[in-house]
Amino acid sequence: MKRLISIMVMVTTMMSLNISAADNNLCLAEDNDCTFVLLTHSSNELVIVNQARAEQALSPFSTFKIANSAIGLETGVINDAGQTLSYDDTAYPPQAWWPSVWKLPKYNLTSAYKFSMVAIYRQLAKDIGDKQMRHYLKTFNYGNQDISSGLDNFWLNGSMKISALEQVKFLQQLHQNQLALSEKTQQELRKVMLAKMTDDYRIYAKTGAGKVDDGSMLGWYVGIVETADESYYFALNFNRPTYQQMKADRIALAMNHLKQAGVID
């Protein structure tokens, strides 16, 4: 059985960001509905906006597709990023509200991840099975590891909860090959997760969103920034009244924080 190589992330410094309250393009220290966490690998330095919110365990929504993809690849349920994937359309019948990118004639892991195709990932979780899902979530120390609300939906405002701080620690372990995953799984996952590439950096990331119990929309953007000489891990989550408002701000907020921290230009 593969074992988790545990790591201790020491907070060497806590930095408060000098941000004007008038700037709504960043999470603010006084905004309880938003947090941003940045972990620098070499120093284990954490920058946190809103400590209490950063520690709050929330539904991961589609950010769980990172772990779900890794488990699917590691167990052999999926062979590689280009394998054609399908789902049981009697169990998950197409809905009128589905976006057009959820109605494509075929998917592979790369496109299903890119378009956050929920039915494909619900099917993947079922194919992985309860026993292996529980094993890998324990190995990953992923959030509260609770899948009791249903194998194919526990991450969709169900029993699974994870904090922004837990997200960055998971991403660090994943990126530093500390989760006992095969080299092939790691290589294929990097292909799937790549969101942006420039001459100076690469970003591997995933969005997530969904309605929570108070009726608002919870939005996530989590990921890894790789430069020539450093790796950074970030997690943003926040609430907005509507999906449209959340979607408009989600990636922009995270990118602004990364720029403000000097991680990217």
Catalytic residue positions, numbered: 62
Cα 20 from Cα 2, distance rounded (Å):
47
Cα 147 from Cα 153, distance rounded (Å):
8
Cα 58 from Cα 51, distance rounded (Å):
14
Q: How many CB atoms lie within 10 A of CB 64?
A: 23
Task: Look at the chain and count its residues.
Answer: 265
Cα 12 from Cα 65, distance rounded (Å):
30
| Residue partners of 63: CB distance under 8 A and separation at least 6 | 162, 167, 206, 207, 208, 220, 222
